[in-house]
Structure 1
Amino acid sequence: MESCYHGCQCGLPANWVKINVRETKDCFEVYALVPGLLWEEVQVQSDPAGRLVITGQPEQLDNPWGIVAFKKVISLPSRIDLLCTSTIMSLHGRLLVVVPFEQSNI
């Protein structure tokens, strides 16, 4: 497994899926390039421990681009707010996931 960012463990070999994580003052911005996949072929899940899982499954398995199913697991170094996580995907396979930090109730 390759390490990408703060302990990011990337899952099944899918070197064509590029991931970049940027930390801002109140969230993580996770950028992923998943060219050739449609919005409905990509799924993003998160858990309170700070893990973000991005999976992709092309509807057409014998597609001419050679795109195969993948799974990327990114372990973020902070607790995250599941209810406010948002995902945007462009027509060209650019995925942006905004993951806010969990707010403390102190």
Structure 2
Amino acid sequence: MFFGQKLKFLREEHGYLQRQIASLLDIDTPMYSRIERSERFAKEEHIPILAKYYNIDEKELRQLWLADKVYDVIAGESSANDVLSIVSESIVEYGKEKTNS
């Protein structure tokens, strides 16, 4: 479940209207609607606001937000899995370098 889907699920689970959440984030309702439909990205600063409002783990929400961004960049690429493997390996190597510093 990506960021927009998660937001829609949480909003409906709590019985909120899109306009209520849009107001919380200080954006207009059509913009919030596009975020839920994954047509636009939420701002990074919205993540802690939403996590606190819904009383959920901010880390989980941030991971979904980042996953959306990565997906948007590589989704149509025929080598998307290979690209993700390279990135994953690089992240592991980066982590090793950081611990050895």
TM-score range, shorter chain: under 0.3
Instruction: Kindly indicate which of the two structures has a greater share of residues assigned to helix.
Output: 2
Q: Which has the higher contact order (CA 8 A, sep 6+)?
A: 1
Instruction: Kindly indicate which of the two structures has a greater share of residues assigned to strand.
Output: 1
Q: Larger C-alpha radius of gyration, 1 or 2? A: 2
TM-score, with structure 2 as normaliser: 0.26
TM-score, with structure 1 as normaliser: 0.26
